[in-house]
Amino acid sequence: MDNEQPDHDLTADVVRALEAILLVAMEPVSSTLLAQLLEQSVATVETLCEKLAGAYEDAGHGFQLCKVAGGHRLQSHPDVAAYVERFILDGQHIRVSSAALETLAIIAYKQPMSRGQVAAIRGVDPDAVMRTLQARGYITEISRDDGPGQAVLFGTTPLFLERLGINSLQDLPPIADFVPDASVVEALELGLRVSTIESPTLSE
Partner 1 sequence: MGYEVTTPVFAGPFELLLHLMLSDELDIHEVSLSRIIEAYLAEVQKMESLDLDVATEFLLIAATLIELKTRRLLPSRDDTDIDEEFALWEERDLLLARLLDCKTFKDVAGVMGTLIERADLSFPRMAGPEERFASLMPDLLEGVTPFRLQRAILKVTAPKQHITVDMMHVTPIRASVADALIELIEFLPTAGRISFSEISKGITERVEVIVRFLALLELFKQGRVELIQGDRFGDVGVLWTGGSDRSFDAILNIDDYEG
Residues that bind a copy of itself (CB under 8 A): 2-5, 12-13, 15-21, 23-26, 29, 33, 36-38, 58-63, 74-77, 79-81, 83-84, 86-91, 94, 114-116, 123-125, 127-128, 131-132, 135-137, 149-152, 159
**Paired residues of 68 in beta bridges:** 71
CB of 101 or CB of 188, closer to a copy of itself: 101
Distance CA 50, CA 121 (A): 43
Q: Which does 4 bind (CB under 5 to 8 A by kind): partner 1, a copy of itself, none?
A: a copy of itself
Picking from 171, 137, 168, the residue whose alpha carbon sits closest to that of residue 154 is: 137
Q: Which does 43 bind (CB under 5 to 8 A by kind): a copy of itself, partner 1, none?
A: none
Closest distance between partner 1 and the C-beta of residue 23, in Å? Answer: 5
Closest distance between a copy of itself and the C-beta of residue 135, in Å? Answer: 4
Closest distance between partner 1 and the C-beta of residue 29, in Å? Answer: 11
CB of 43 or CB of 124, closer to partner 1: 124
Distance of CA 30 to the CA centre of its chain: 16
Q: Which does 165 bind (CB under 5 to 8 A by kind): partner 1, a copy of itself, none?
A: partner 1
| H or E element that contains 74 | strand 71-76
Closest distance between partner 1 and the C-beta of residue 38, in Å? Answer: 16
CB of 87 or CB of 143, closer to a copy of itself: 87
CB of 18 or CB of 106, closer to a copy of itself: 18
CB of 13 or CB of 41, closer to partner 1: 13
Establish whether the linkage from the previous residue to 180 is cis, with ω within 30° of 0: yes
Closest distance between a copy of itself and the C-beta of residue 109, in Å? Answer: 21
Distance CA 51, CA 55 (A): 6
* Sign of the Cα pseudo-torsion (121, 150, 71, 91, in order): negative
Closest distance between partner 1 and the C-beta of residue 202, in Å? Answer: 4
| H or E element that contains 144 | strand 139-144
Buried b (16+ CB within 10 A) or exposed e, 90-119: eeeeeeeeeebebbbebbbeeebbbbebbb
